[in-house]
Structure 1
Amino acid sequence: MRRTLLTIAVSVVLVAGSGVPAWSAPTPTPAPTSVDGWSVEDGRLTWRSERPVPIGDAVVEFWSGDRLLGRPATDSDQRTLRLETGSGTLPADLSVRAGGRRLDAPPAARNAAPARVTDPAPLPPNAVDPGVKGPYRTVRGSYELPGVTLPRLPEPVEMLAEVVAPQGAPGKRPLALFLHGRHLWCYAPDGAEFELDWPCAAGSVPVPSHLGYLEAQELLASQGYITVSIAANGINAQDNAVDEAGADARSALVRRHLALWAGWAGDRAGAPPIVRSSPVADLDRVFLMGHSRGGEGVNRAAIDSLTPPPAASDGAPGAARWTIRGLLLIGPTLFGQNPAADVPSVTILPGCDGDVADLQGQLFADATRGVSKGRALHSVLYAVGANHNFFNTEWTPGQSAAPSTDDWFLPEDPVCGTASPIRLAAADQQTMGAVYIAAAARLFVDGDDRVRPLLDGSGRRAPSADPARVLSHAVGGNRTPVVLPDEAVRTGGGARLCDQVSRDEAAACLSSPLGSPHFATFRLLFDEPDRRAVRYDWTAAGTPMTVTPPSPARLGDARELALRLAVPGNAPATTFGVSAVDSSGRTTALGDVTLTGLPAGEFGTPVWAQEVRVPRKGVRDVAQLILTPRAATGTAWLIDAWGWAPGTPDPRPVALPRVDIAGLVVTEGDTGEKTYQIPVSITGGTQGRMRLSVVQPNGDGVTWDATVAPGQDRIDVPVTVRGDTVWNHQPERIEVLAKAESGLVIGDYVGTVDVRNDDPAAEVSVDPVADRVTEGDALTWRLTLSAPSESRYDEIVLVAMPPADGTPELSTTDVDPRWLLDTFGVPAEPSRPLSQVVYWWPSLEPGQVTAELRIPIVADGVAEPEERVDLHFVTVDRPPLSGTVTD
């Protein structure tokens, strides 16, 4: 139910206690004839969609205004979502959100409607193409072992994998493990229905999501890799109830499979047949691929392999007998914004992702800056025209065993719609995915630096991935920081430091963070003062923008200066002159760079930084960076700048100190304040710095830097709960969040304080004041709470409906026309039943206990029979209210 539709209710008078001035409703919009699918049933807040809601990787959430209510469960019809609230009434201003977009309403446009869109021009070909099939024939098979129980999940999770391995490859071979994301887990083969039970109910079978990457497995196996794609349906079926959405369970599942392969490498006698038919795996050369939540899962496996979780919560205990050399992540989630900073990665962002629509996987690169040594390369690829699902054939219509859908939500979109020439065909998208999986493996595991230009912003393409258009940028590797925007950076010439995540539009880089993957939010933290970029708006060509780091940045062995620079979607080719001022005050013009806005419809996420480079021309250090636009007007965002040199250094990963947060459930109490200490545990010994935040349910909160001293093993975060005797009909959940800034790695990044309200619920009554009147008077009812609510109370909704017994219904010409126009924005003529207009949704602010509904009737002097209006309760089960008018 959208508040903008339902506050059109009838003229409402609110009275706080007694004797306060009347409150006038704002000018409303016409009432809908339904309640947009919302209801409360047996204490469960329920939303019914007109069409199936795909089960995907973005977290589906119910919201009331700016307040998160929780994550609903989905019924087997895939149209009905339910959230246990314990309340019998309906909250206000409801919405359903996932991945940064509304599911219960048409999405709000992020960009202006484009006049035209064009595909980026093809890049020059790379010297080496990793998509070329290798010399080895392949063998394929599967293994299945007894399921395992993982922490926080009540039901066992399957141990099932599909193996494709090379034949005749000499010696030990590297191992590539694939993990799919969150999709439906069971279906009935004889119909189109999905089943939501786990384990699968009789008559249904698991969705074979792990079979969706066979093209990539075959390509890697032909090049000498043992490939293992593992099933995770048991996690998908249970992770919705877990705060961090199953990342730790996926990590444990990955590590359990790796432990099996480590054991089989030493003793193959008891291994499954497909393992014995494969070469011996080299566990010192492990590569992980994860799609969607699987991406966050393999990232967590990399973290947990270097710095083990606390023993009490580890689902795969024991020392890691493997070394993870790199990650490839497709459309990944990163709810925790906690990338494995020392493990190289490549992240593919699908330009038409309708599931993880905020493209939060960008933080797998951006959030590594400054955390560790910076030697690991973190690449991001923007795949123009690719959606989320079609990288997996088992999520692709026409290829999948189970029913599947296109995740992009607007078929008429000029970029991502089904008829768009920019949109990639499913087969082309799958080939592109396989090629870049092979590129990442070849660079990180084989050390073949010839494929690096495909991944690190050097502007090359793999011809075997044509016609896909794939752009790249990177951080880390052979880069030296020059400009990392923070509060110490000074700007001039029309440039300004902007906040990537801020509710203050004047300070924000964009009016909505959904316009850029770089600005993805961290759970309910809507203000992050430590995340900055530089925004530049200009109105005349040749107006220089200056950016001055706190101290001159030495370029060392860098060959070029690399900038990650973004322009708006669909922006024409925009050229900037790049100059550097060194510490002696000398200015050197380094050259021009040109970039064109990414193709974007109204709902894309196009403000993505493209990497551009200029030669250093003998500049030893950079005391100031100058960008001079050649275009007359425009906008640009500088994400960062680096000294760049070719090559890929050994990342030399280290076991950083690890941070994990616990949570607890508390009772509110009746009086005073009570402060609880939320333990933030630290293992590993050395020092580091992180940002801690305490976030209230509405997004308000505090955030601060916390320093970890050598040997420190705990930080207590105080969370204060205020006791009272006032009923609160909304749940209260406070979150404690941790994010690494330097020298640390974060495991369990969120601890929740669930505050149980222990006060009795107020009784709600709606009574007639005047429900039988003559023309010229007003029908009046009064809503009363027996006690005030601690939060706004707006859970009663009534709608006018025709009298069921055939009594004549009051019409729009029976009521005061000025009242009708002021309240509903509609004229009295032509006459129509009130059931087409009247809604009542009273809203009582904290402390207010009554609201009145008043319908003024005109005296028309015409002899008429009795007429009636019936008001039916929508959100609670009560008899309707009736108002009768006589002459």
Structure 2
Amino acid sequence: MSISANAVNANDNQLAADYGAQARGGLVLDTLRMLKKADAGERVVYHDAFTNRDVSLDQALTGDITPRDLVGRLDLGDVGIMGHSRGGEGVVAASTLNDALPVWQQFGIKAVLPLAPVDYDRISLPNVATATILPYCDGDVENLMGQHIVDDSRHSFGDNVLRSAVLVMGANHNYFNTIWTPGGWPAGTGDDWSFAEGVSDPVCDPKAATTTRLTPDQQVQVGATYIPAFFRLALGGEKRFLPLFDGSAVTPPETSFARVTSTATQPARSRVDINTFERQDRSVRVSGDATAEVCASMGGAGGVTLPQASPYCSTTLNQAAVPHWSPALWAWNIPSTPMLHMKWTSGSGQVRVTVPPAARNISRFEQISVKVAADEFVPTATDLVVSVIDGTGRAWSAPVSQLNPAAVTRMPGVSSPWLRKVILQQVTIPTSSLTRLRLTDVREVRFTAAAGADGAASGGVYISDLSAENRGVGARVPARQATVNVVPANVEEGSGPGTAEVAAVLSERAGHPVSAYVSVYNSPAGQSGASMRPVTFAPGQVCVAVPVATLGDALPSATASTSFKVSATNVAGGVMGDKGFGTLTVREDDGVTRGAPAPEVGVPGDVCDEYAASQRPGRLLVKGAVVPGATVTLSARGYRAGESVEFRLDATSLGRALASADGTVSFTAAIPSATSGGTIVLTALGAGSRYTTEARVKVRTH
């Protein structure tokens, strides 16, 4: 079935801090809840706010299907979801929101397929088989940012599920959507590559004689082959479809006209990692005329803007050409996909990787796998000899160009800076070919420089994820994930550079570390500097204070306060929560040139203590009888020094008072003469701390 997200599409950028990912995810879960009721035979009715009328499922369904046809027909413990473009990020969000629910409320989402997706938020995705389809000639999501969905998730959870990235050469963005394809709708259709930088590049220009482009019908056929194949594999257990997604060089006859490749990270129980190359490691040794360092992210024009812990993998390419490292819109400065960058100037260059003792017995595995890509300085193609050595010193060797020539060959492109992309390709060595080796005692894997098709003695490659593995899909294990959220923060501007704090919080205590990256986005107006901080919650910890630079001054402004977006993304060991986006609001404390100033937010205390206090109301003391038209004295403690505290009777504001230096506040409140008898709630809310105290009292009317 297909879910309409038109209302989200019309409002996402304007109303949603994450540009609508979680709204789309929530819509998916709401639809599953509706289907659950329909399956149980319950009446389903929603209120249509636009027409101001109730609409039943019976009225909404068209065609021959009625609600009676759905009763007892749905297995919502066996669910696969697919989304295109922003919908691709939406189905990722749906799965993470589902994982945040108590297990008894979760749906059995076992397979997620993001199709040409955006990934503005770097949402990592646990506990579900994933296949991300990436079109090489995408003129809309030109940096193929969906690659991050696989990259960010593959080592973040230790879960037992397959993750696959499927690259479709010659495909664009729109033709996977019949409504966006010319002829599919009266307006708003077209070939998105026509908006590309370097549109006339003969690789992706459909008018060029040497184009690799697929026709709309061919692209639909690719989708109609791979999408159901993935769900039949992940949900139906039809293993014959596994080679389409596990890194095997297999082309189904239905798409013999297309070049489609896949790279995969096998389920955790089906592999042993020899080296992921995500951090510097003494087991990786370099010799001869070679260098090798762990790099991450993209620098240069269009790259990250804050200092990084690792050297950049690329500084010369357009962000569209480096899907592994292109910055994400709302996670711009977060490190991306670390890997080993090996470079050499002669055939003597070599990298040796010691196999750790726990991984030396590979006799139970089908293959050794590694991901490789020629770097941007290779003109056409380079080469590399990969060798496997056992404990007796016997070796097996083969050029990568024989195992998978695409791994050492530059991707196609002529004039567009969006092409000649650098994307890792899978190289596999069947263990059945290692006949001379003692497979119970493999000690080393070597990568030795070689000349490729361009004949150059020098070269360079990126290397990632060396493992011994069996091919498989794995299985989802129902579990509730802790969520990482951001607490909105309020601070005074100050008169110069300073530091504020934002609280990153975990929804529940976890028995293992949970990590994320917290980012703050600045604005041309200043007041807060852009920042990015890695955050780790130790087992049992639920709050971490994240420092943020502020840029105060002594000048008035026209704006009473300015809010800056804060995000907690790329979570490992948990998931992004439904409050993964928040705000840091900076109050103008030097006066405003128009309008009224914002209420004082006071001097912040420990942000984690403030967050804990905000989770439960404190006690508001009431002195005097509560009588309509009379006054009472309200007092409380626990506020920030100097913050404005608003007093309310139910929803009616009674006025404000400033908390003293010791955090106490007192206010003489006039009870409105129209107040009815019975029990009322009096509250006092701090403008900065958001701490609330309350009292429930009875109104005396006689």
* TM-score (ref. length: structure 1): 0.55
Aligned residue number for residue 261 of structure 2? 471
8 Å Cα contact 2:135/2:172 also seen in 1: yes
CA distance in 2 between counterparts of 1:729 and 1:436 reads 55
1:451 maps to 2:241: yes
Aligned residue number for residue 118 of structure 2? 333
1:660 maps to 2:485: yes
> In 2 relative to 1, CA 327–684 (structure 1 residues): closer, same or farther, beyond 3 Å?
farther
> How many residues of Structure 1 are paired with residues of Structure 2 in the alignment?
526
Aligned residue number for residue 500 of structure 1? 296
Aligned residue number for residue 650 of structure 1? 475
**1:375, distance to aligned residue in structure 2 (A):** 1.3
- Give, as a single letter, the amino acid of the residue that structure 2 aligns with 1:752: T
2:230 partner SS: helix
1:488 maps to 2:280: yes
Aligned residue number for residue 6 of structure 2? 233
CA distance in 2 between counterparts of 1:750 and 1:587 reads 55
1:725 maps to 2:532: no
8 Å Cα contact 2:280/2:294 also seen in 1: no
Which of the pair has the greater relative contact order for Cα pairs under 8 Å at 6+ separation? 1
2:87 to 294, 299, 316: 294
CA distance in 2 between counterparts of 1:422 and 1:648 reads 31
**1:647, distance to aligned residue in structure 2 (A):** 3.0
8 Å Cα contact 1:394/1:402 also seen in 2: no
Aligned residue number for residue 436 of structure 1? 226
Q: Percent of pairs identical after alignment?
A: 29
CA distance in 1 between counterparts of 2:134 and 2:550 reads 41
1:627 to 447, 457, 464: 447
CA distance in 2 between counterparts of 1:432 and 1:439 reads 11
- Give, as a single letter, the amino acid of the residue that structure 2 aligns with 1:298: V
> In 2 relative to 1, CA 754–325 (structure 1 residues): closer, same or farther, beyond 3 Å?
same
Q: How does 1:661-680 map to 2 (within 5 A)?
A: 661-664=486-489, 666-670=491-495, 673=498, 675-680=500-505
2:398 partner SS: strand
Aligned residue number for residue 836 of structure 1? none
**1:610, distance to aligned residue in structure 2 (A):** 0.8
1:267 partner SS: coil
Aligned residue number for residue 345 of structure 1? 130
Aligned residue number for residue 519 of structure 1? 325
1:746 maps to 2:571: no
CA distance in 2 between counterparts of 1:519 and 1:530 reads 5
**1:522, distance to aligned residue in structure 2 (A):** 3.9
CA distance in 2 between counterparts of 1:334 and 1:282 reads 29
1:603 maps to 2:395: no
Aligned residue number for residue 373 of structure 1? 158
**1:517, distance to aligned residue in structure 2 (A):** 1.1
8 Å Cα contact 1:480/1:558 also seen in 2: no
CA distance in 1 between counterparts of 2:34 and 2:569 reads 32
CA distance in 1 between counterparts of 2:521 and 2:259 reads 42
2:192 partner SS: coil
1:283 to 76, 101, 105: 76
CA distance in 2 between counterparts of 1:590 and 1:735 reads 52
CA distance in 2 between counterparts of 1:743 and 1:555 reads 28
Aligned residue number for residue 263 of structure 1? 37
Aligned residue number for residue 197 of structure 1? none
**1:523, distance to aligned residue in structure 2 (A):** 3.8
> In 2 relative to 1, CA 371–266 (structure 1 residues): closer, same or farther, beyond 3 Å?
same
CA distance in 2 between counterparts of 1:694 and 1:390 reads 35
CA distance in 2 between counterparts of 1:547 and 1:372 reads 24
> In 2 relative to 1, CA 718–549 (structure 1 residues): closer, same or farther, beyond 3 Å?
farther
**1:723, distance to aligned residue in structure 2 (A):** 3.6
CA distance in 2 between counterparts of 1:285 and 1:364 reads 22
2:105 partner SS: coil
Q: How does 1:679-718 map to 2 (within 5 A)?
A: 679-683=504-508, 685-695=510-520, 697=522, 701-710=531-540, 712-718=541-547
CA distance in 1 between counterparts of 2:550 and 2:463 reads 41
1:283 partner SS: coil
2:247 partner SS: coil
CA distance in 2 between counterparts of 1:403 and 1:515 reads 27
Please list the CA deviations of residues 464-499 of structure 1 after superposition, one character each: whole Å capped at 9, or x if unmatched: 123221110011323321221233323413232242
1:254 partner SS: helix
**1:520, distance to aligned residue in structure 2 (A):** 2.6
8 Å Cα contact 2:126/2:153 also seen in 1: yes
8 Å Cα contact 1:588/1:619 also seen in 2: no
- Give, as a single letter, the amino acid of the residue that structure 1 aligns with 2:550: V
**1:354, distance to aligned residue in structure 2 (A):** 1.4
CA distance in 2 between counterparts of 1:439 and 1:630 reads 38
Please list the CA deviations of residues 309-351 of structure 1 after superposition, one character each: whole Å capped at 9, or x if unmatched: 9xxxxxxxx9636311101111111222222221111001110
> In 2 relative to 1, CA 642–613 (structure 1 residues): closer, same or farther, beyond 3 Å?
same
1:472 partner SS: strand
**1:432, distance to aligned residue in structure 2 (A):** 0.6
Aligned residue number for residue 361 of structure 1? 146
8 Å Cα contact 2:279/2:294 also seen in 1: no
Aligned residue number for residue 462 of structure 1? 252
Please list the CA deviations of residues 739-764 of structure 1 after superposition, one character each: whole Å capped at 9, or x if unmatched: 4564222234443314354557999x
8 Å Cα contact 1:283/1:323 also seen in 2: yes
- Give, as a single letter, the amino acid of the residue that structure 2 aligns with 1:430: V
8 Å Cα contact 2:489/2:502 also seen in 1: no
**1:700, distance to aligned residue in structure 2 (A):** 5.2
1:260 partner SS: helix
Aligned residue number for residue 789 of structure 1? none
> In 2 relative to 1, CA 620–701 (structure 1 residues): closer, same or farther, beyond 3 Å?
farther
- Give, as a single letter, the amino acid of the residue that structure 2 aligns with 1:627: F
CA distance in 1 between counterparts of 2:461 and 2:557 reads 46
**1:290, distance to aligned residue in structure 2 (A):** 0.6
**1:295, distance to aligned residue in structure 2 (A):** 0.9
Residues 335-344 or 510-519, more deviating: 510-519
8 Å Cα contact 1:689/1:740 also seen in 2: no
CA distance in 2 between counterparts of 1:713 and 1:729 reads 38
**1:702, distance to aligned residue in structure 2 (A):** 4.8
8 Å Cα contact 1:497/1:532 also seen in 2: no
1:395 partner SS: coil
- Give, as a single letter, the amino acid of the residue that structure 1 aligns with 2:83: G
Q: How does 1:9-48 map to 2 (within 5 A)?
A: none
Please list the CA deviations of residues 141-163 of structure 1 after superposition, one character each: whole Å capped at 9, or x if unmatched: xxxxxxxxxxxxxxxxxxxxxxx
1:715 partner SS: strand
8 Å Cα contact 1:292/1:331 also seen in 2: yes
**1:536, distance to aligned residue in structure 2 (A):** 1.9
**1:246, distance to aligned residue in structure 2 (A):** 0.9
CA distance in 1 between counterparts of 2:113 and 2:394 reads 40
CA distance in 2 between counterparts of 1:244 and 1:292 reads 15
CA distance in 2 between counterparts of 1:427 and 1:414 reads 20
8 Å Cα contact 2:80/2:109 also seen in 1: yes
- Give, as a single letter, the amino acid of the residue that structure 1 aligns with 2:131: V
8 Å Cα contact 1:694/1:719 also seen in 2: no
**1:689, distance to aligned residue in structure 2 (A):** 2.9
CA distance in 2 between counterparts of 1:691 and 1:534 reads 23
CA distance in 2 between counterparts of 1:531 and 1:334 reads 14
Please list the CA deviations of residues 77-118 of structure 1 after superposition, one character each: whole Å capped at 9, or x if unmatched: xxxxxxxxxxxxxxxxxxxxxxxxxxxxxxxxxxxxxxxxxx
**1:548, distance to aligned residue in structure 2 (A):** 4.9
Please list the CA deviations of residues 489-545 of structure 1 after superposition, one character each: whole Å capped at 9, or x if unmatched: 234132322422154899211114543211132446665568421112223345323
1:424 maps to 2:249: no
**1:461, distance to aligned residue in structure 2 (A):** 1.2
* TM-score (ref. length: structure 2): 0.68
8 Å Cα contact 1:336/1:749 also seen in 2: no
8 Å Cα contact 1:563/1:638 also seen in 2: yes
